[in-house]
Amino acid sequence: MQNRSGSNNSSAAIMSNTDMNMRGKIIFYEDRNFQGRHYECMSDCADMSSYMSRCHSCRVESGCFMVYDRPNYMGNQYFMRRGEYADYMSMFGWSGGIRSCRMIPMYGGSYRMRIYERENFGGMMHECMDDCDNFMDRYRMSDCMSCHVMDGHWLMYEQPHYRGRMMYLRPGEYRSFRDMGYGGMRFMSMRRIMDSWYG
């Protein structure tokens, strides 16, 4: 009886270690070059101001995260994978610091998204299952204003070849990029967030 319970505990420990690796961990620092007070985060955080007044550098120890320059996952966003970002503000060209972050879960299934030329799923529609480095070249679409993500996690970029400002998309309906605060942006390329990015 005791052996069986010991075995269950050991399985639970292995399971919990696996969960920790899949969840990811990011550490935010008040000053550049990982100086000053810090805050460790292993999940979504809608408003970092309750933990620290400013953030000028960060280190992703595991997993992938999306960081935002406004609370509640709004404003400019940037994708971060494992690594050190000693002075991310000059790297991203941001004037303000990170105000919220979202942990991107690992995903090993298929990828499927429908992109639409107009808001509310109007106009030309294309179903995508892989990366697209240029909407205009591949689909003859000059704009993408709404989408429906059925499977997987994606990044959409304002310029071809995965350049410029970006937006993180997880499964769900996105009826209007303009209403989400991206009225001045035209999205021109997109790519899947793959398991291999978590190394």
Q: What is the DSSP string of 121-151?
A: GEEEEEEESS-BS-HHHHH--S---EEEEEE
pLDDT exceeds 80 at position 199: no
pLDDT exceeds 60 at position 137: yes
Q: How far is CA 9 from CA 21, 23, 120, 173, in A?
A: 19, 21, 50, 41
Candidate from 11-25, 68-82, 95-109, 182-196 with smallest mean pLDDT: 11-25
Whether the full predicted model's pTM is greater than 0.85, yes or no, is no
User: 3-state class of 102 per DSSP?
Assistant: strand
Tens digit of pLDDT for each residue in 44-74? Answer: 999 999 898 888 899 999 999 999 989 999 9
